[in-house]
Amino acid sequence: MVLGVKVGKRNAEVVRRALRAAGLIDPRFRVLRDEEHVYFPILGSPGPGVLEGIEYELVDMEFPVKRRRPRDFIELLEGELSDLELAAVPRAIDLVGDIAVIELPDELLEKGEVIGRAIMRFYRNVRAVYAKRPVRGVYRVRELIHLAGERRTTTIHREYGVVFKVDIARVFFSPRLGWERARVANLVRPGEVVVDMFTGVGGFAIHIARRVPCRVYAIDINPDAYRLLLENIRLNRVEGAVHPYLGDAREIVRQGLMGVADRVIMDNPSMSHEFVDVALDALKREGGTIHFYHFESGERPVEEAVNRFTSLVEACGRRVRNIRYARKVKSSAPYEWLIVVDGEVG
């Protein structure tokens, strides 16, 4: 039995505030109600003045225990996995629409279904869970291992008011770049021309077109990414603002996009260093901004990325007038970071 305060519904809110201010509400139990009264579980009798002038009654009764929400899905695995296995489960999860993706070490794959079910219990909107392998090939796709839930890889992902249709088995898409996509979009000024060299399903391109009147040339070599790009252009109603191209960025730029851009986005961190000359070809002669993404490791990864970008630009006969912004975007592997460098090039 638990001590409680019984009060008429008319005074319930006043009593709740008074008991909370006095620190008397017992957080372990749920408040109960019937047609006429509200019952508050308390830690001890109210002292003089706490409920002065209010008609109430102290009662002993059974209050239902609150079901505490677990801190994370790892807590749901306690008792299912050994302490050593629990320590090896990654805390980071990518939530793409209603699909969860986790990077499991090989030694935990046999426990993948248990881990997948725990993720679905914690994230109530998740309908499928996959383990991911490294991104491979020019199309930037990865092998996926189904762990739990529905066996589908297509979903609708929403971020900052933008909608993306994504097939995680056929295209590269990182929800962790949502803030970065919005950041770059907010830098674009009305009337700018942007070349998004490795657009995927249109992450940067559609964010930009939704926020500001401009023209974005969106390029990708992956046919599946291009197909989804076309769908996402329609879904977000940016026809006429985003101009999609299927093919190699080097060929597309040199066939028709030479010297058109005020801004170039290079979101292909494993290969962007090989395309700086192409980005410079796309920039207007008077210069513009390049958003250079690259994987770096070592003690000073941001400085390394800035030096790399500057050297590559200078090797092409252009110069970096200013580094407007450079930072770690996210961890990409142990001791490795995805770095962005915003460089103003002359």
pLDDT over 90 for what percent of the chain?
77
What's the pTM? 0.79
Q: What fold characterizes domain 2-61?
A: Alpha-Beta Plaits (3.30.70)
Mean pLDDT of 177-187: 96
Pick the CATH number of 158-345 from 3.40.50.720, 3.40.50.150, 3.30.1360.70, 3.90.79.10: 3.40.50.150
- Where do the domains of the chain lie? 2-61, 73-152, 158-345
- At residue 136, the pLDDT reads 82
- For 26-35, the pLDDT digits (tens) are 988 889 999 9
Among 62-66, 195-199, 312-316, name the one with the lowest average pLDDT.
62-66
Secondary structure string (H, E, C) spanning the chain:
CEEEEEEEHHHHHHHHHHHHHCCCECCCECCEECCCEEEEEECCCCCCCCCCCCCEEEEEECCCECCCCCCCHHHHCECCECHHHHHHCCCCCEEECCEEEECCCHHHHHHHHHHHHHHHHHCCCCCEEEEEEEEECCCCEEEEEEEEECCCCEEEEEECCEEEEEECCCCCCCHHHHHHHHHHHHHCCCCCEEEECCCCCCHHHHHHHHHCCCEEEEEECCHHHHHHHHHHHHHCCCECCEEEEECCHHHHHHHHCCCCECEEEECCCCCHHHCHHHHHHHECCCCEEEEEEEEEECCCHHHHHHHHHHHHHHHCCCCEEEEEEEEEEEEEECCEEEEEEEEEEC
> What's the mean per-residue pLDDT of the chain?
94
The CATH superfamily of 73-152 is: Met-10+ protein-like domains (3.30.300.110)
Q: Say yes or no to pLDDT of 68 above 80.
A: no
- For 212-269, the pLDDT digits (tens) are 999 999 999 999 999 999 999 999 999 999 999 999 999 999 999 999 999 999 999 9
Q: Say yes or no to pLDDT of 79 above 80.
A: no
- At residue 283, the pLDDT reads 98
- For 274-293, the pLDDT digits (tens) are 999 999 999 999 999 999 99
Q: Where residue 328 falls among pLDDT bands split at 50, 70, 90?
A: very high
